[in-house]
Structure formats: C-alpha cells, structure tokens
Amino acid sequence: MTEHVTAWLAAYHDGELRGLRLRQVETHLAHCETCRTELEALQALTALLQESPVAEVITSPDRFVAQVGLRLPRRPVQPAWQRTLEAGWRLAPVGLLGAWAFGQAVFFVAGVVTGALRMGLGGDAVAGLLPAAQQRLWLAEVFSLSNVGLNDAGRIMLRMLSNGGPLGWGVTLHLVLSVVIGLLYCSWLASWWARRRHRTQISGH
C-alpha cells in the first residue's frame, strides 16, 4: 500500500486538488481504510458545522439598506484638476515608454544620418554638419570670444568635451536618457506600491 495521504485529505475534501495529486489521493482512498475514516471524520465535521444556526436577522432588507444609506457619510467629490492629475498619474508609464521609444528612434535616425555623412554620401558641403565638428566649432568660438588662451591640456580637454566625453555625445545622451527614464519609472512603481499598501491598510489588513 502507498503512503497515507492524510496531509492532502483536507484539500481533497474541500475540492482543491487537481490532476495527478487528485488521482493519487483517490487511488489511495480506494484501498486505505485509515484514510477513508479520516475523510469521513472531515465530512462529518462539515455536516455538523452546518447545523449551527444562521443569523436571525431582525431587520428587513429594505430597512437594512435604508439604515446603511442614512449612515453613509458624504463622500467628497473629487475636483476636476484632481481627476486630471490622477489620470495623468495612471498614464505616466505609457508616457515614459513613449519618451523612451521616441529617444531610441531619434538616436537611431541620428546614427544612420551621421554614418551616411561620415561615409561621404553628402559630399564635403555637408561635412560640417557632423555633430563632433559642430561641437568643436561651437566650443572654439566660445573660447575665442572670451579671449581664453588654450594650452595643450586645454586643447585636449576641449577635444574631450567636444566629443561628449570618453563615450561620445550619442552614447552619453543615450545613457543619460535611459537612466532618467528608468529612475522615473522606478519612482512611479514605488509610489504605486505605496498607494496600494495604503489602500490595503485602509480596508483592513
């Protein structure tokens, strides 16, 4: 005979078992007198519990509903701006996702255009449109206007800055945007969790 299924009898009695476990318990019960007796005891207890009287409600349904109605406090009507704010808060993840997708698209297009320009597809006339060249020119203009003389170290720094740091402008901006969107999303999740917890506590637990 297989091992007793005492641990599963309550779940079997409550109709909570499915599949293999259910078949296992049924097969065992067909052969095991001990487990059958245990199951019968559970069934007897359930039958006995039903003998406990139900509540003798004195108040009629209409009167009960009316009494509840009289005791209902006035629920403050949410102003329109709060409803708008609430809707905005609920749509925030979609907005963040949209912003991230937009950023990705912009970086992709910029990458394709830059690649094409670097390959010389646009000719010399458009070479100045390359982002690094533009930044270098712009920073050099700034330094010349402010009459700042640059030594070698300054020129290296200028080159670093004009290239957007060691990773380049494109990658740096990409990283910053992803981190900012990620942080905003985490903040939204945290506030969602806090609100849910608050509501759960209010309704009892």
Q: Which residues bind another protein (CB under 8 A)?
A: 10-11, 14-16, 41-42, 44-59, 61, 64-65, 67-69, 71-73, 75, 77-78, 199-200, 202-205
> Shortest distance, CB of residue 27 to another protein, whole angstroms?
22
Q: What's the closest the beta carbon of residue 60 comes to another protein, in angstroms?
A: 10
DSSP string over the chain: -PPP-HHHHHHHHTT---HHHHHHHHHHHHH-HHHHHHHHHHHHHHHHHTTSPPP---S-HHHHHHHHHHHPPPPPPPPHHHHHHHHHHHHHHHHHHHHHHHHHHHHHHHHHHHHHHHTTTT-GGGGGGSHHHHHHHHHHHHHHHTT----HHHHHHHHHHHTTSTT-HHHHHHHHHHHHHHHHHHHHHHHHHHHHHHHHHHTT-
Measured from the CB atom, the residue of 153 and 198 that comes closer to another protein is 198
Toward another protein, which CB reaches closer, 64 or 138?
64
* Nearest alpha carbon to residue 133 among 168, 94, 97, 163: 163
Nearer to another protein, 9 or 117 (CB): 9
In angstroms, what is the minimal distance from the CB of 32 to another protein?
Answer: 19
Q: What is the nearest approach in angstroms of another protein to the Cβ of residue 42?
A: 7
Q: Which is nearer to another protein, 36 or 136 (CB)?
A: 36
Least separation, in Å, of the C-beta of 84 and another protein? 16
> By C-beta, is 133 or 189 nearer to another protein?
189
